[in-house]
Amino acid sequence: MLRNMGKIVSSGLVMAIAVSALAGCGGGQKAESTTAAPAAESTTAAPAASDSKETEAAGTDSSGGGVEITWWAFPTYAQDGDNPAGTYEQEIIDAFQAKNPDITVKLETIDFTSGPEKITAAIEAGTVCDVLFDAPGRIISYAQNGKLVALDDMFTDDFVKDVDNEALLNSCKSGDSYYMYPISTAAFCMAVSKNALEDAGAMDCINLEGDRTWTTEKFEEMMQKLYDAGYMGATVYCSGQGGDQGIRAFVTNLYDSSVTDNAVTTYTINDEGGVKAMTKIKEWVDAGWMLNGSAYNGGEDVDQFVAGNTAFTTLWSPGLASQRAETLSENGIEAIALPFPSEDGVPAMEYLVNGFCVFDNGDAARAEASKKFIYFMCNDEEWGPKNVVKTSVFPVRQSMGDLYPGDEEMKFYASLTKYYSPYYNTIPGFAEMRTYWFPMLQAVINGDSEPQAALDDFVAKANQSIENAK
Amino acid sequence: MRPKKINKIRMRETLVSYAFLAPALLFFLGFVLVPMGMGVVTSLFRYNMKGMTFVGLSNYIAMFQDPVWQKSLVNTLFLVVGSVPLTVFFSLFVAALTYEKHPVTRSFFRCVFFLPVVTGTVAVTVVWKWIYDPLNGILNWMLKSMNLIQRNIMWTGDKKYALWAILIILITTSVGQPIILYIASLGNVPKDYVEAAQVDGANDLQVFWRIKWPSLLPTTLYIVVITTINSFQCFSLIQLLTSGGPNYRTTTIMYYLYETAFKRFEYGFANAMGVVLALIIGAISFVQFKALGGDVEY
C-alpha cells in the first residue's frame, strides 16, 4: 500500500512539475499586455464567425459572444501631465467601447526602438496585433508582403473628396488597394535657436516672413556667424535609423537634389546636387561648423538642440515642438521652425502621414471590428479632431477645418504643405534602403569615401533593394 | 535480492529520473534544439515575409562574398581576441591581489567588479554613452583637464576609436564573474602544496606557476570558453551604442544578423549567418577544450 502510495506521489510530483512548467510558458504572453481592457458586458452577438483560418493574435480571444481586438500603439499621442504612456489611448478605447459594447480593445504600448522588431517577430509567429497606428514606411511594407487587410471600403468617395490630396492618398496604397487609413499629416522641417542666432548676430540670415523660405547661401552665412561666435551648428546625426528622413531632406534640399525620381521608381540622389550637398556637408563638418554625428541618432540630435548645446537641428516637426516645449522653456531657448534651405529658396518637404492599418489575422470578425475602431478614432465627432490635436499635426480631412485657431506657429507649419515633395516611403524595399543611408553618410563625413563614390554605391544598393522586394 | 528484482528497481529509478528531467528536456528541445534545426533548414531558403523559396547554399555563398559580413567577422574576431586574454589576465590579477585579504575587503572588490554584471546591459550602456558623449562626456572632460587632448573626441563615432570603445565596455562587463570564480579557486588551492613548495625554496612566481596555476586550469577553461562565446555574441552594446557604425566599423556578426532579419526581413540570409557563427564558436570552443582541457584536473 505504502509502495503504491510512493509511486502515486512521485508520479504526481513529476506531472505537477511538467504541467506547471508548461502552464508558466503559456501564461507569459498574457502578462505582457500593459493595460487590461475592461471586460465586455455586451449581450450583443458577435459578427458571424469567419470561415477563414483561426489564427489567434497575442492575448486575443474572439470567442464568447463579443469580438476582442488588440491595438499596438507607438508613443505618438501626447499624454496629459505626467500620465504614463498609454493613458490617453485607453481613454479612446473606453469611449469606443462605451459606444460599441460588443467589441473589446486590448492595448499594448510599444516603443520606437524595439517596437518594429516586435512587430516583425509577431508577424512571423502569427501573434501580431489587429490594429497598428504608424506611418506608411512600415505599413506599406507589411502590405507589400501580404500581411494586411485591404481598407478600400473605408475610402469612400466622400472621404477621398474630403482629403483631396492625391499624393497623400497614394501614400496609403500598395498596388491598387488602400492599406493605411490616414488621420493626420505634417511636414518635417528644421529649427534654429533664436538665442544663439541673436547672440551670433545671425538673425538677418533667416527669413521670418511668409513661409520662412531661405537659401543655402544664407544658411552657410548663418553657420559661419554661429561658428565665429563659438556655437556648434548641428550634428549631422547618422547613428541608429530613426529620424533619417530629416537629414535626407536636409541633404536633398541644399542643392535641389531628390531622393527618387518624380515617379518614385528609382533612386536619384547621386545626381549633381546630391554630390554637391554631401561635399559641402563634409566641408562644414571638417571646418567645425557642424558636428560629425556618427555617435548621435535623431533623438539625440534633438536632445542636444533643446539642451542648448547646438544652435540648430535638422529634425523638427510640430509634434516634436510640442513634445519638447517644456524642456525648451526650462532651458530658456526659443526655437524657430524653418523649412530646409535650398539653392533656389523653394524647399521640397518630406512629410509625415499618420494612419492605421489592420493586420490579416485570418478572422473576418476581428478585421471588421478593427475597421470600426479605426473609423471611430479618425472620424468620431469628438475623438477624431481630439486625436489629431493630440499628435500636434494636421487633419488629412479638410472638413475638420482649423484645429489650432489663432496659433501662428501652427499656421506656419500648415503653410509647408504646399511644398510637399513626392512621397517615396512606399517604394518597394524602402526598409532595406534605410539600412544603407546612415552608413553612406558616415562613410562620407568620416572620410572613408568620396561623396560621388559613396552616393553611387548607395543608389546602386537602394535600387537593388527595389528589385529584392519584388 | 534476486537480480530480476534489482533490475526492475533500477529501471523504475531510471524512469523516474528521466521523468524529472522531462520538463527541462522539453524546454531544451522546444527552445534550443528545434529552433536550431529550423535555423539550419531555413538558411537554405530565400525566406522573407513573402514566403520561402529553396535556394540551396546561395545564402552562404552570398554571405561569404558580402563585404559587410566580412567586416563584421573581422570586428567580431577583434573583440574576441581583445577581450578574452584581457579578461582572463585582469581577473586573475585582481583575484590574486584580493583573495587573501580580509573578507570585508574581498567582498568589497567582488561587489565592485560584479556590479556591471548584475546591472542591466541597457543601464550600463546608457552610463557609458554619457561617459563617451562627444560634447558633454566625462571622458573628454577629464582628458582635456589633464591636457591629454585638445579637442573633444567622438569615441563611438570615430573610426579610429569606436571598436576600442566597445572593447573597453565589453571587458568591464565581462570581468565580474571571472574575478569571483578565480577568488574562489585560489582560496581552494591546498595550502600544504604551497607551503611544501616554499619549504623547498620556490619563490612566489614559481609557486604561482607550478602550484597555483595548474589548480586554476579548470576555472580558466570555463572562463575562456564562456568569455569567448559572450564576445562572439556581442550585440546589445552595439545596438544601443553605435548601431554598427561608423560605416560598419563596429558591426559584429550578431548585429548584422539582427539587422538582416529585423530591418531587411531576410530571415534565410540571417539564419545562414547564425549557422556559421555557431560553427565558428563550436570550432573555437573545441580547440580551447583541447588546448586547455588536457591538463585540467577535475
**Domain assignment of residue B16, yes or no:** no
Output the pLDDT for position A46: 34
Q: What is the mean pLDDT of residues A185-210?
A: 95
Least confident of A368-372, B155-159, B255-259, B275-279: B155-159
Fold: same for A67-185+352-412 and A189-348+428-469: yes
- Is the pLDDT reported for residue A340 higher than 90? yes
**What is the rounded distance in angstroms from the CA atom of residue A160 to the CA atom of residue A157?**
5
CA angle A93, A98, A102 (to 5 degrees): 90
pLDDT digit string, tens, across residues A61-96 = 444 458 999 999 998 888 887 888 889 999 999 999
CB-count exposure of residue B174 (10 Å: 0-12, 13-18, 19+)? buried
Give the A window 41-100 contacts with B, CB below 8 Å.
none
Look-up of cell digits 553611387 = A456
Helix, strand or coil, per DSSP, at residue B5: helix
On chain B, the residues whose CB falls within 8 A of the CB of A306 are none
- Is the pLDDT reported for residue A45 higher than 50? no
Least confident of A49-63, A189-203, A359-373: A49-63
**What is the rounded distance in angstroms from the CA atom of residue A386 to the CA atom of residue A403?**
9
Least confident of A97-101, A248-252, B280-284, B293-297: B293-297
Q: Does A128 touch chain B (CB under 8 A)?
A: no
Q: What is the mean pLDDT of residues B244-262?
A: 94
The alpha carbon of residue A23 is apart from the nearest alpha carbon of chain B, in Å, by 11
Q: Total structural domains in chain B?
A: 1
Kind of pairing between the strands at B45-48 and B51-54: antiparallel
Contact B245 A297 (CB under 8 A): no
Output the pLDDT for position B294: 65
The answer, yes or no, to whether ipTM is higher than 0.85 is no
> Which residues have a Cβ under 8 Å from the Cβ of B58 and sit 6 or more positions away?
B46
On chain B, the residues whose CB falls within 8 A of the CB of A294 are 154, 156-158, 162, 245-246
A428 to chain B: closest CA residue: B264
On chain A, the residues whose CB falls within 8 A of the CB of B157 are 239, 292-296, 442, 446
pLDDT digit string, tens, across residues B53-102 = 999 999 999 999 999 999 999 999 999 999 999 999 999 999 988 888 88
**Domain assignment of residue B27, yes or no:** no
Q: What percentage of chain B reaches a pLDDT higher than 70?
A: 98
**What is the rounded distance in angstroms from the CA atom of residue A252 to the CA atom of residue A339?**
13
Cβ atoms < 10 Å from Cβ of B147: 7
Least confident of A64-68, A76-80, A133-137, B186-190: A64-68
Contact A239 B27 (CB under 8 A): no
Q: How confident is the model at residue B142 (pLDDT cuts 50, 70, 90)?
A: very high
A126 to chain B: closest CA residue: B49
Q: How confident is the model at residue B296 (pLDDT cuts 50, 70, 90)?
A: low
Q: What is the mean pLDDT of residues A168-195?
A: 93
Contact A10 B16 (CB under 8 A): yes
**Domain assignment of residue B7, yes or no:** no
Secondary element (H or E) of residue A69: strand A67-73
Q: How confident is the model at residue A12 (pLDDT cuts 50, 70, 90)?
A: very low
**Domain assignment of residue B218, yes or no:** yes
Residue A26 is placed in which grid cell? 503559456
> Which CATH number covers residue B276?
1.10.3720.10
CA distances from A210 to A213, A249, A339, A366, A414 (A): 8, 21, 11, 48, 12
Contact B26 A239 (CB under 8 A): no
pLDDT digit string, tens, across residues A255-302 = 999 999 988 999 999 999 999 999 999 999 999 999 999 999 999 999
- Is the pLDDT reported for residue A17 higher than 90? no
- Is the pLDDT reported for residue A41 higher than 90? no
- Is the pLDDT reported for residue A21 higher than 70? no
Mutate to test the interface with B, among A140, A241, A442 (most CBs of B within 10 A): A442
Q: Does A305 touch chain B (CB under 8 A)?
A: no
On chain B, the residues whose CB falls within 8 A of the CB of A239 are 156-157, 242-243, 245
Helix, strand or coil, per DSSP, at residue A107: strand
Q: What is the mean pLDDT of residues B165-171?
A: 94
Residue A428 is placed in which grid cell? 518597394
Output the pLDDT for position B1: 59
Q: How confident is the model at residue A22 (pLDDT cuts 50, 70, 90)?
A: very low
Q: How confident is the model at residue A154 (pLDDT cuts 50, 70, 90)?
A: very high
Mutate to test the interface with B, among A11, A14, A359, A467 (most CBs of B within 10 A): A14
Least confident of A56-60, A71-75, A183-187: A56-60
For chain A, percent helix, then strand, then coil, each to nearest 5?
A: 45, 15, 40
- Higher confidence at residue B146 or residue B2? B146
* C-beta of residue A74 within 8 angstroms of C-beta of residue A115: yes
pLDDT digit string, tens, across residues B194-233 = 889 889 888 888 888 888 888 889 999 999 999 999 999 9
Q: What percentage of chain A reaches a pLDDT higher than 90?
A: 69
**Domain assignment of residue B274, yes or no:** yes
Output the pLDDT for position A42: 34
Q: What is the mean pLDDT of residues A116-135?
A: 92
**What is the rounded distance in angstroms from the CA atom of residue A263 to the CA atom of residue A425?**
12
- Range of the structural domain that residue B197 is part of: 58-293
Q: Does A435 touch chain B (CB under 8 A)?
A: yes
* C-beta of residue A86 within 8 angstroms of C-beta of residue A70: no
Q: Which CATH class is domain A67-185+352-412?
A: alpha beta
Q: Does A120 touch chain B (CB under 8 A)?
A: yes
* C-beta of residue A444 within 8 angstroms of C-beta of residue A281: yes
Contact B243 A241 (CB under 8 A): yes
Output the pLDDT for position A63: 47
- Higher confidence at residue B249 or residue B109? B249
Single-letter amino acid code for the residue at B264: R
The number of C-beta contacts closer than 8 angstroms across A and B is 107
The alpha carbon of residue B58 is apart from the nearest alpha carbon of chain A, in Å, by 15
**What is the rounded distance in angstroms from the CA atom of residue B96 to the CA atom of residue B87?**
14
Look-up of cell digits 484645429 = A403
CA angle B123, B129, B132 (to 5 degrees): 145
* C-beta of residue A3 within 8 angstroms of C-beta of residue A29: no
Least confident of A134-138, A244-248, A315-319: A134-138
Domain A189-348+428-469 coded CATH 3.40.190.10: yes
Domain boundaries, chain A: 67-185+352-412, 189-348+428-469
* Average predicted confidence (pLDDT) for chain A: 85
- Is the pLDDT reported for residue A173 higher than 80? yes
Output the pLDDT for position A65: 59
Q: What percentage of chain A reaches a pLDDT higher than 70?
A: 86
Q: How confident is the model at residue A44 (pLDDT cuts 50, 70, 90)?
A: very low
Output the pLDDT for position A53: 35
Output the pLDDT for position A6: 46
Output the pLDDT for position B90: 93
pLDDT digit string, tens, across residues A342-378 = 999 999 999 999 999 999 999 999 999 999 999 999 9
pLDDT digit string, tens, across residues A213-229 = 999 999 999 999 999 99
**Domain assignment of residue B37, yes or no:** no
